[in-house]
């Protein structure tokens, strides 16, 4: 070997020795029988052994009793085949305490080119704290997943595109109950309709929405109420190029708490109070209808008497004051007008109820519950198909209940005739073109085309005979609809009964709804 080559080799050996001695990783070299030939200071610092205590000893000095035999079998199997082995095993310090070692063992072949390795170099570091943190993270993950899985609340995690990327069993039950691919999308649309600009503001600024109550009508069964909360979190990107960057993705967490039980209790109390209120209202309504009918019946004869009195006075001229017939007609006219005034004064006033946001689904469900007895007695089957989520309209809930009770009562009465076998009532709601639309369809005899305008006149009925108070239903319904800036129409294209279409304009929200910041 030349002098420069000899100096280079000496320098390389010195650098290698210094690097090994000063390395923060524990390094040991063993022979082919696993006897320790060399350890560096980092090895001594991690294991607690001095170099003099381990050199000449077998590497198994560090073995801990709970390390499975299969780990060592895999290690020596790789080494005997000339391959390095990397893995984790449990080592024992000098004081007997265990620690997790992240170990790499590499076979070193002889410089003479022999196939069998003659030395092994082992490098390991104490991974106990890393293992503890990783296990703690795994435990937390399993705990959270277990809690979410058994939680009575429905949970869904949505990405920025609105795709559900994670859910729990309670949410998946909603998918089956609502018969929707993604109930989360229906919830978000309901929140948008309920909160208006406030919802868009919350989305834009990633603000939380807490305990927003929503009602879902799932068909003939009981409605469901949920307290819905929305929160946001950021997921840091795990790609290497995001190591120093701020790359992250936003996710939205939707939590739906079923509050149907408490709402049903509240609804039962409310319905009982409403029954009492409507009973009194129906009595007053009956009185108003009876008195209105009497006024209507009297007004015609009084008008005729008034006309006859005027005619007699014109015929008699100046001597009309002494004419017995003129006096009698005038007295009859005054008596009739006084009777009409007395009846009008005795008429109960219309109840004054506040106007505000109204969910038409709730109004219709109230009416259906109130009319259950009449359906059963008439043998009418009801097909109730509400929109899952319906925007509010501006209105008077009491008047709207009266409106739909009139329409439903008229439909039941139309079908409740002797010999009529097909007795079905269908109701549906939907939001369409800025309006809430209600369709009431019955399988009765229908309304002839010539009478489709006349049926809205007071006291007109398609029945040949009627009891007092009949014939005001559709006229009263039309009056209520007009006060709500809506429309009530008979579908001319429907010929298997009668189909009434009622529509109201959606409630306009001028101000954004305040939301709670997350």
> For 264-274, what is each residue's pLDDT tens digit?
888 778 777 77
The β-bridge partners of 348 are none
Distance CA 399, CA 22 (A): 90
Cα-flanking dihedrals φ and ψ of residue 225, to 5°? -115, 140
The answer on pLDDT for 467 being more than 50 is no
Distance CA 428, CA 364 (A): 10
Q: Span 400-406, mean pLDDT?
A: 87
Distance CA 77, CA 215 (A): 65
The angle that helices 260-316 and 360-370 make with each other, rounded to 10 degrees, is 80
List the beta strands (DSSP E) in 301-353.
none
Q: Note whether 259 and 225 are within 8 A (CB).
A: yes
Q: Span 405-433, mean pLDDT?
A: 88
Q: Any idea how long the chain is?
A: 518
> For 134-152, what is each residue's pLDDT tens digit?
899 888 888 877 777 777 7
The answer on pLDDT for 188 being more than 80 is yes
> For 93-119, what is each residue's pLDDT tens digit?
999 999 999 999 999 876 665 666 778
What is the pLDDT at residue 100?
A: 94
Query: For residue 460, what pLDDT band results from cuts at 50, 70 and 90?
Result: low
Mean pLDDT of the chain: 81
Torsion of CA 307, 312, 313, 316, to 10 degrees: 160
> For 327-359, what is each residue's pLDDT tens digit?
787 888 888 888 888 888 887 776 665 678 999
Q: Note whether 191 and 209 are within 8 A (CB).
A: yes
Percent of the chain residues past pLDDT 70, beyond the cut = 84
Integer CA distances (angstroms), 171 to 149, 251, 274, 301, 354, in order: 10, 17, 34, 69, 38
Cα-flanking dihedrals φ and ψ of residue 381, to 5°? -95, 140
Q: How many CA atoms does the CB half-sphere of 244 hold within 13 Å?
A: 0
Distance CA 61, CA 92 (A): 8
Q: How far apart are the first and last CA of the chain?
A: 75
Q: Span 274-302, mean pLDDT?
A: 73
Query: For residue 8, what pLDDT band results from cuts at 50, 70 and 90?
Result: low
The pTM of this model reads 0.46
> For 373-395, what is each residue's pLDDT tens digit?
888 888 999 999 998 888 889 99
The tokens describing 452, both together, are 């489709």
Q: Which residues contact 278 (CB under 8 A, 6 or more apart)?
A: 370, 401
List the beta strands (DSSP E) in 308-409.
356-358, 381-385, 393-395
The answer on pLDDT for 494 being more than 50 is yes
The tokens describing 406, both together, are 């009139």
Cα–Cα–Cα angle for 277, 279, 280, rounded to 5 degrees: 70
């Amino acid at each position: 070997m030349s002098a420069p080559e000899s100096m280079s080799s000496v320098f390389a050996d010195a650098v290698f020795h210094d690097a090994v001695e000063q390395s923060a990783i524990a390094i040991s070299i063993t022979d082919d029988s696993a006897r320790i030939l060399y350890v560096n200071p980092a090895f001594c610092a991690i294991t607690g052994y001095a170099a003099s205590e381990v050199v000449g000893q077998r590497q198994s000095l560090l073995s801990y009793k709970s390390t499975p035999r299969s780990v060592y079998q895999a290690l020596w199997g790789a080494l005997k085949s000339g391959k390095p082995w990397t893995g984790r095993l449990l080592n024992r310090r000098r004081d007997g305490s265990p620690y997790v070692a992240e170990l790499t063992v590499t076979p070193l072949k002889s410089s003479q080119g022999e196939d069998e390795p003659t030395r092994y170099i082992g490098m390991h570091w104490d991974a106990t704290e890393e293992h503890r943190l990783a296990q703690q993270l795994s435990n937390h993950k399993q705990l959270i997943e277990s809690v979410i899985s058994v939680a009575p609340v429905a949970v869904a995690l949505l990405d920025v595109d609105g795709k559900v990327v994670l859910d729990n069993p309670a949410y998946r039950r909603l998918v089956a109950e609502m018969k929707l691919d993604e109930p989360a999308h229906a919830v978000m649309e309901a929140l948008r309709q309920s909160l208006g600009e406030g919802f868009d503001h919350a989305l834009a600024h990633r603000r939380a929405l807490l305990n927003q109550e929503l009602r879902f009508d799932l068909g003939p069964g009981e409605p469901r109420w949920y307290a819905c909360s929305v929160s946001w979190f950021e997921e840091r990107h795990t790609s290497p190029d995001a190591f120093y960057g701020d790359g992250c993705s936003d996710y939205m967490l939707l939590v739906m708490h079923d509050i149907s039980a408490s709402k049903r209790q509240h609804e039962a109390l409310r319905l009982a109070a409403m029954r009492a209120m409507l009973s009194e209202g129906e009595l007053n309504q009956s009185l108003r209808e009876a008195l209105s009918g009497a006024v209507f019946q009297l007004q015609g004869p009084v008008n005729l008497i008034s006309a006859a009195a005027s005619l007699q006075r014109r015929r008699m001229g100046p001597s009309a004051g002494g004419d017995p017939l003129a006096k009698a007609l005038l007295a009859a006219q005054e008596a009739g007008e006084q009777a009409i005034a007395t009846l009008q004064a005795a008429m109960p006033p219309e109840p004054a109820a506040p106007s505000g946001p109204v969910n038409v689904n709730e109004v219709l469900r109230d009416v259906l519950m109130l009319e259950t007895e009449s359906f059963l007695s008439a043998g009418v089957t009801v097909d109730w198909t509400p929109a899952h989520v319906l925007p509010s309209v501006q209105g008077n809930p009491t008047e709207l209940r009266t409106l739909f009770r009139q329409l439903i009562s008229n439909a039941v009465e139309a079908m409740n005739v002797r010999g009529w076998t097909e007795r079905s009532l269908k109701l549906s709601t939907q939001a369409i073109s800025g309006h809430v639309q209600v369709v009431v369809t019955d399988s009765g005899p229908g309304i002839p085309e010539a009478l489709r305008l006349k049926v809205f006149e007071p006291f007109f009925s398609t029945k040949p005979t009627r009891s007092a108070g009949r014939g005001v239903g559709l006229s009263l319904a039309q009056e209520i609809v007009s006060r709500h800036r809506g429309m009530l129409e008979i579908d001319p294209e429907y010929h298997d009964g009668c189909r009434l279409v009622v529509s109201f304009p959606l409630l306009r929200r001028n101000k954004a709804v305040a939301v709670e910041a997350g």
